[in-house]
Amino acid sequence: MLQAFALHKVIRQLHHEPTLIQYLNDYHQSIITHIRTTLSRSLVKLCRCCNILSSSLNPSWKQIHFMATNFAATHIESFEYIPRHTENTKIQDIDLFIVGSDQVWRCEYVRHLSTVPFFFLDFAPESLRRKSISYAASFGSDQWEGTLEETAICKELIQQFKAVSVREHSGISLCKDIFDTPSVQMPDPTLLLHAADYEQIIRKEKTKGLKQAFIASYLLDEDKEKYNSLQHIAGELNMPYQHLMPHSTSRNRRDRFTNSVAQWLRYFRDAEFIVTDSFHGCVFSIIFNKPFICLENQARGLARFVSLLETFELRDRLLSQTEDSAITNLIHTPIDWARVTSIHESERARGIQFLRDNLK
């Protein structure tokens, strides 16, 4: 949602009108989904207001869906549904598409929806594809995960794009070797904005701060080793940590619920230190100039982390091993934020220029 928000904001600044496209399998499913979504959001909102946490009434996936749709309605404003297997006249009103960002070209993540070619614009006429671009689209990995059939289809489609940009440097090689298509590397859409842009979201919504200094723990795949590292960091800095992911066993009942986007941002803004295994955990540490440690997360695509951190000359913040001595050394190694900010400005300008040049 924050990637969509950032890209929407920049597109509007460039005097274009964006619409976020939501994929659905067919028209009938879209009606059913709309009804279910409305009922689900109402139920989740009631559960949150009444402080009810239930695996059946208020499971985590419903909370996440509620937070995402609520944020989209408040901050993104314009989005449409495109049925997968029916004629959609709304396409006729669209001048061009922008594909991306995040791991939209990671087949392992989207194949279960039968949408690998969808993210290469197979639903659009060729004349529209030739006006369209990808912005920082990510394969998530340095390997293409498509089948032979998917590869053939996607190769034909991507070669019709007006311009192709990818998020990781490894994506340039994949586009060349797999699709015989030139591409350029561009920063994640969230990096096209400043911290002040995200602080507007925090101010606009009701959020809660902590009274004491704290470490923000944003671990997507927490295990015993990462938990031990978090405990060590908390001991070294003599600070408590605040989970940004819901924890069902937390003593604080509020922490058992999924955070709103605004609350999530506030924790990043207010934290003294960040511990994460997330790509965007690193991104928002950079945006808010927060010292951080990234614990390697191979399952979610290591190429993304390496590309990002090498760009910002922060490769040493990514730890593949979690020995206490290495962590302690990194905790007390300051980050040159003046240098990081300079790189951010350069990357931001480069990304906006790519959009300006190709949104014509």
**DSSP 8-state code for residue 73:** I
The Cα–Cα gap between 5 and 196 comes to: 14
Residue 33 shares a structural domain with residue 76: yes
Q: How confident is the model at residue 27, as a pLDDT? A: 46
DSSP H or E segment with residue 58: none
Residue 236 shares a structural domain with residue 173: no
Instruction: Note the residue count of the chain.
Output: 360
Residue 203 shares a structural domain with residue 282: yes
Rounded to two decimals, the pTM is: 0.87
SS3 for 241? strand
pLDDT in tens, the chain (360 residues): 899 999 999 999 999 999 888 776 554 455 666 666 666 666 656 665 565 555 555 566 666 777 777 788 788 877 776 665 545 556 778 899 999 888 999 998 888 767 889 899 998 899 999 999 999 999 988 899 999 999 999 999 999 999 999 999 999 999 999 999 999 999 999 999 999 999 999 998 888 899 999 999 999 888 888 889 999 999 999 999 999 987 656 566 666 667 889 999 999 999 999 999 999 999 999 999 999 999 987 777 788 899 999 999 999 999 887 778 889 999 999 999 999 999 999 999 999 999 999 998
Q: Where are the alpha helices (DSSP H) in the chain?
A: 2-13, 27-49, 60-71, 107-110, 126-129, 148-158, 169-179, 195-204, 224-237, 261-270, 279-287, 302-311, 324-331, 337-358
Q: Write out pLDDT tens, residues 54-84.
A: 555 556 666 677 777 778 878 887 777 666 5
Residue 151 shares a structural domain with residue 203: no
Q: How confident is the model at residue 45, as a pLDDT? A: 62
The Cα–Cα gap between 3 and 351 comes to: 13
Q: Classify residue 161 as left (phi > 0), alpha (psi -120 to 50) or beta.
A: beta
Q: How confident is the model at residue 179, as a pLDDT? A: 97
Bridge-partner residues for 295, per DSSP? Answer: 319
Q: What is the 3-state secondary structure (H, E, C) of 284-305?
A: HHHHCCCCEEEECCHHHCHHHH
Q: How confident is the model at residue 102, as a pLDDT? A: 85
Contact 68, 259 (CB under 8 A): no
Residue 185 shares a structural domain with residue 218: no
- Nearest residue to 4 (alpha-carbon basis) of 19, 16, 14: 19
Q: Look up the CATH number of the domain holding residue 269.
A: 3.40.50.2000
Residue 260 shares a structural domain with residue 312: yes
Tokens of 57: 């009434």
Dihedral of CA 257/63/275/196: which sign?
negative
Residue 151 shares a structural domain with residue 232: no
Residue 109 shares a structural domain with residue 133: yes
| DSSP per residue, 91-127 | GGG-S--EE-SSSTT-HHHHGGGT-TGGGGTTTS-HH
The Cα–Cα gap between 9 and 76 comes to: 9
Bridge-partner residues for 273, per DSSP? Answer: 215
Residue 206 shares a structural domain with residue 184: no
Q: Which residue in this structure is represented by tokens 């704290």?
A: 214
**Residue 293 sits in which domain range?**
194-340
Q: What is the 3-state secondary structure (H, E, C) of 325-353?
A: HHHHHHHCCCCCHHHHHHHHHHHHHHHHH
Residue 11 shares a structural domain with residue 155: yes
The Cα–Cα gap between 67 and 80 comes to: 18
Residue 97 shares a structural domain with residue 141: yes
The Cα–Cα gap between 290 and 281 comes to: 10
Structural domain count of the chain: 2
φ/ψ of residue 237, rounded to 5: -90, -10
Residue 199 shares a structural domain with residue 132: no
- Please confirm whether the linkage preceding 217 is cis (ω < 30° from 0): no
